[in-house]
Amino acid sequence: MSVKYQLDIEEKFLRIAMRGTHSCLEEMVKSARYILDMALTHQQNRILLDRTQLEDTNDYYDKFLVAERLDKAHVQRHGIKIGSLIHCKNQSKERTLETLARNRAISYRTFLTEQEALGWLLGTPEPA
């Protein structure tokens, strides 16, 4: 099953929901390109990425390779900030992707709730 995207353009960010399965490196690269293309097309550098309905069967090495490709493409120069909503069952794999991105100065963080993601993404203080 391939990945399907739903794009919603909000006032201060793009909302991209992903559904389906990432089962190979090429699908992950295609998704990364889509996200970057949408950010550049809509001139929006803040993205709320909903990966809660995405099954990711790739191993850690594939994630490493995607991070390397993003780094070689100088994605960080675009100032894109991605808050990724994840399902708790995928937390370990998703945190690995976050670490790989952050080690390459790519602003990507994972969250279990939309409120936390938007707080970080938009720079609003968290409630006490």
Using CA atoms, how far apart are residues 15 and 60, in angstroms rounded to an integer? 26
Query: Domain residues of the chain, as ranges?
Result: 4-122
Could you confirm whether domain 4-122 is CATH 3.40.50.970?
A: no
Backbone region of residue 74 per phi and psi (left: phi > 0; alpha: psi in -120 to 50; beta: other values): left
Q: What are phi and psi of 17, to 5 degrees?
A: -100, 135
Q: What tens digit of pLDDT does each residue of 42-89 get?
A: 999 999 999 999 988 888 888 888 888 888 888 888 889 999 999 877
pTM of the shown model: 0.88
Mean pLDDT over residues 89-96, rounded? 76
6 pLDDT more than 90: yes
